[in-house]
Amino acid sequence: MAGRSPFPWLPDRWLPSRFRPGTSSASRAKPGGAGATNTVSSPKGTSPATALTGATRDWFARVWRPAQGLRRPAPQASCRTALSSNVSLEGAAAEVSLELRSRGGAGPGGGGDEADLALVFCSTAYASDLPRLLPLLRQSLTARHWIGCVGGGVVGTGADGSPHEIEQQAALAVTLLRLPGAKLQPFVLNAKQLPDLDGSAQPWLDWVGADPALAESMLLFIDPGCPSINDLISGLDYAYPQVDKVGGIAGPHSANGGSLLFDDQVVEGAVGCLIGGRWRLDPVVAQGCRPIGPVFAVERSERNVILELTDGSKKATPVACLQTILETLSPAERELVRHSLFLGVGRSNVQLSGSEPSAFLVRNLLGVDPRNGAIAVAERLRLGQQVQFQLRDAATSRQELQQLLERQSQVGPEPLAALLFACLGRGKGLYGGPDGDVGICQGLFPAVPISGAFCNGEIGPVAGTTHLHGYTASWGFLVPSPAPGASDAGSSSDPPA
């Protein structure tokens, strides 16, 4: 009579013969007889895998874990996010912690999966209590790395799945990301003394302490008190030229300490996280402007002051060029020129098409010299550089963002999450109502949670170079990035046939 199987959940054909129904001890004792099978006895104290033979034993050895039984399934990517507008810091931390744990995130000692990266964005309303924020959250939530910043406003996704832009009031948004296969390299920088931009890139790499070969993207937040923000961004581009950088300048506040969050501390300088492996950030930079008039070339300039422009064979001062453009505009457009005129600075020596405003870096006009018709721009210019006047309004911003996000939805993988770093000049002030930017994104990515902050300057690439922007929405879409030649072959836990 067959013995009782110690693992009745296995099919009979996988069992040693002595446990198969209908197999007698006599038949097992006759080599070569009916039902004869080469078997290996299982010594006392061994795992069930040693009692099996052939392909069955090999498969069992792959999946058996003495303490767990069968191997646990590979962890799944996840994004859990919560948003609170509680005026109390303790109340807001408790609300987001409760919401995140209710969505499957156990806290310390709770036995749940630990997040790989926690992103925290809070408004300046909590500035006086800021040192308490991360310790409060870490009491209830677990993550390997914590990073975030203070903002002039907060972007987050509520319990109903709807994203919101919360301006000029208390708000806290926390996002927990589970990213299997990700290579995460968080860093914090003391930006008071930067490495030399004229030397080798190695001092920059040593300073950051992160391997560029393991990264495709960088999340970057800079304290508003950082003395050399543009040099810092340029240096990081110098050290990590193939890495897309997305982020912003944190919001200033009157309390002691910085505006950046890292692990369990409030810090100054800069914080960031390089992301690589199986994940990356796809950047989308929406500058919210449309071109007017032709593309000019800089004929004469001094630093950031343009003295003369050319349009083909025609030469004129910038003011004269603008007066010519004004004659072609509608009354509504001429009114916009009074308060929403900018200059697009081309990022290439190639003649740029006016139909591609993203090819221009949009910069503020700082002033006009009526004596010689020159204009000052918030960017240094060089001889021959392409420029074009730009107008900014709500309709243009909506249209441009819609087009850019439609393009992202068509060419990129489905995002796990979207991060938005928007200028304080956008939001209600631009659109006349709440949730202007996130509403457009939700229409194209309805299931993707959104979080972020309103910043004092936005960081994102234009034509392959990272810039500090104004009046811009800098997006980062967190998408899977399979390794070249990656295959699921051999990862199956299915038993052999």
Asked whether residue 292 carries a pLDDT value surpassing 60, the answer given is yes
Q: Does the pLDDT at position 28 exceed 50? A: no
Residue with token string 């895998």? 49
pLDDT value at 424 more than 80: yes
pLDDT digits (tens, 9 = 90+) for 227-245: 999 999 999 999 999 999 9
Q: What is the pLDDT confidence band of residue 18, given thresholds at 50, 70 and 90?
A: low
Residue 349 pLDDT exceeds 60 = no
Residue 231: Cβ-neighbour burial (10 angstroms; 0-12, 13-18, 19+)? middle
From 15-24, 182-191, 449-458, 459-468, the region with the lowest mean pLDDT = 15-24
Q: Is the per-residue pLDDT at 355 higher than 70?
A: no
Closest CA to 220 of 452, 444, 57: 452
pLDDT reported for residue 313:
87
Across the range 326-335, mean pLDDT stands at 93
Question: What pLDDT, on a 0 to 100 scale, did the predictor assign at position 103?
Answer: 82
Q: What length does the chain have?
A: 497
pLDDT tens per residue across span 243-262: 999 999 999 998 999 999 99
pLDDT, averaged across the chain: 84
Compare 31 and 126 and report the one with higher pLDDT. 126
Higher per-residue confidence, 356 vs 77: 77
Least confident among 82-86, 195-199, 271-275 = 195-199
The whole-angstrom distance between residue 260's C-alpha and the CA centroid of its chain comes to 17
Give the integer Cα–Cα distance in Å for 211 and 205.
Answer: 7
Model confidence at 181, in pLDDT bands (50, 70, 90)? very high
Whether pLDDT at 222 is above 50: yes
Please choose, from the candidates 217, 120, 130, 204, the residue with its C-alpha nearest in 3D space to the C-alpha of residue 415: 217
**Distance between CA 288 and CA 298 in Å, rounded?**
24
Q: How far apart are CA 39 and CA 53, in angstroms?
A: 7
- Can you spell out the DSSP letters for 31-89? TTSTT--------TT--GGGG--HHHHHHHHHHEETTTEEPPPPPPPEEEEEEE--SSH
| pLDDT (0 to 100) of residue 29 | 42
Average pLDDT over residues 268-273: 97
Query: Would the pTM of this model clear 0.85, i.e. be above it?
Result: no
Q: Is the pLDDT of residue 98 over 70?
A: yes
**Confidence (pLDDT) at 171:** 98
- Over residues 148-173, the pLDDT tens digits come to 999 999 999 999 999 999 999 999 99
Q: Cα–Cα distance between 40 and 24 in angstroms, integer?
A: 17
């300490």: which residue's tokens? 257
